[in-house]
Amino acid sequence: MKKKLDGGLKKILIFFLFLIISSKNSYSSQILDYETEEFINEILEDIIKVNKINKKIKFKINDNEEINAFVDINNVIHINSGLIIYCEDYVALLSVLAHEVGHIDLNHITLRKKTIENSKKYNTLGILSVIAGSTLTQDPHFLQGSILTSAALSNQYIVLSKDQEMEADLYALETLNLLNTNSKSIQILLETIEHQLLNKGLSREQQRISTHPYFADRILLIDNFKDSKENNFNENYNERFNYIRAKFIGYSNNEEILKKLNEPFKTYAESIKKARNGKLKMSLQTLNEIIKSNNNNNFLLETKADILFSYGYTNEAIRFYKKNLEEDPLNYYAQIRIFETIEIKNLSNSDIEIIFEKNKDLLFKYFNNKNVLIKYIELAKKLNKKEWLEFFNFILSINNIEKNVFDIEINNFKSTINRDILKLINIIENLS
């Protein structure tokens, strides 16, 4: 599991900054984990298929132990690591994802933006940052503070939001019925969230005035909506989810949840925990036993590589990343690890040129990944690619330049005849 600080473009960073200032449930770093992303993509594809949605749903996984998921203003679903940790099976995660997809499919973000545009009584920028996502655990105090200048408007907005949240709840339950699946884990997850809010000092009465339906009402809705006669519980999905969940628990050092895990997931989480606590030898011994008994799970090798890499055993780690990549050539994060550790000191220019060309897929997919950029700058310097060097340095400086300078620089680079740079410019402009 790898993490990278949100890089992105100037506009995106500014928007994220407003979110961080305005919400306790902000996200500061993104988790990059191929196994988890592939699994969530499959779950989303199931949701998309049964609801006949004709567009791709984008998502990000945030390093945040709050039990939370939300949709941002660009209709990207954000999934906190805490949500994965506290879901007792894949159905609980599926239900939350279906809820968030419901907000996107039902066009709720656009409707909320229109509500803002039609009102002149509050700070548009401030409220946009708060309502961009439909958080599961949103603090109701945000809607009672200075962001809303009118009590009447506050009530109007809360009613609108509650309606949308109930619609999204119904959408999720209808999705579960279409997939012929359900689980007690959904109710357990809601009860856990409510319990955590109570521990934070948010009484049930305070929860009632939040933008979300009251937990008791949501649980009652679930109980009364179970009209599916069969329960198509996917055991394969659940086993894969349990390995993913164990990995997140191991990295989080959440001892309370770890103790409740069944085998072999408990041992897997413990092996990661041991590594994080400085017990590398014990960690690898435990992990090797799990790998022996689960030799069809290629992602265990990636975890081993991540642990070795974190301890500075780069060559050993790369060996396992390469094994992982042989099994799944689309694992870009393993490819990034291999790419960023390439030693070019004693390589010929022709070999370096091959490396430069061979890894351009990483450049196009992860142009804002600092490790990828730094390695490409090293390659470009060795090959004396001046135009590329200027462009890479521009990308690295995006976070620190003003909007007008950004536009000027982009336009300057558009005069190039380098097709790859033009392709990257197009990617950047589409994201800005």
For 47-58, what is each residue's pLDDT tens digit?
999 999 998 999
Instruction: Single out the residue of 306, 288, 162 nearest to residue 247, CA to CA.
Output: 306
pLDDT > 50? residue 322:
yes
Structure tokens, 134? 């439909």
Cα torsion through 363, 366, 371, 375, rounded to 10: 0
| CA distance linking residue 72 with residue 6, whole number of Å | 15
- List the one residue out of 339, 348, 347, 397 whose CA is nearest residue 372: 339
Report the distance separating Cα 357 and Cα 376, nearest Å: 10
Band of pLDDT at residue 5, cut at 50, 70 and 90: very low
Tokens matching residue 407: 């536009």
Query: Is the model's pLDDT at 127 over the cut of 50?
Result: no
**Residue 153: exposed, middle, or buried by beta-carbon count in 10 A (0-12, 13-18, 19+)?**
middle
pLDDT value of residue 117: 60
Domain with CATH 1.25.40.10 in the chain: 253-334
Query: Is the pTM here over 0.85, yes or no?
Result: no
| Confidence (pLDDT) at 12 | 29
What's the mean pLDDT in 351-369?
Answer: 92
- Residue 317 to residue 306: CA distance in whole angstroms: 7
Identify the residue with better confidence: 371 or 161. Answer: 371
Q: Which two tokens stand for residue 249?
A: 């628990």
What is d(CA 258, CA 236) in angstroms, rounded to the nearest whole number?
Answer: 21
Check residues 260 and 192 and name the one with the higher pLDDT. Answer: 260
Mean per-residue pLDDT, 393-408: 82
Residues 7 and 30 sit within 8 Å (Cβ to Cβ): no
pLDDT level of residue 96 (50, 70, 90 thresholds):
very high
Span 297-322, average pLDDT: 96
Q: Return all residues near 173 (Cβ < 8 A) that are at least 6 apart.
A: 95, 221, 222, 225
Closest by Cα among 155, 133, 132, 135 to 143: 155
CATH level 3 topology of 253-334: 1.25.40
Quick check: 211 and 158 in contact, CB under 8 A? yes
Element counts in the chain: helices (H) and strands (E)? 23, 5
Local confidence band at 148 (pLDDT 50, 70, 90 cut-offs): very low
Whole-angstrom distance, CA of residue 265 vs CA of residue 407: 50
Share of the chain above pLDDT 90, in %: 50
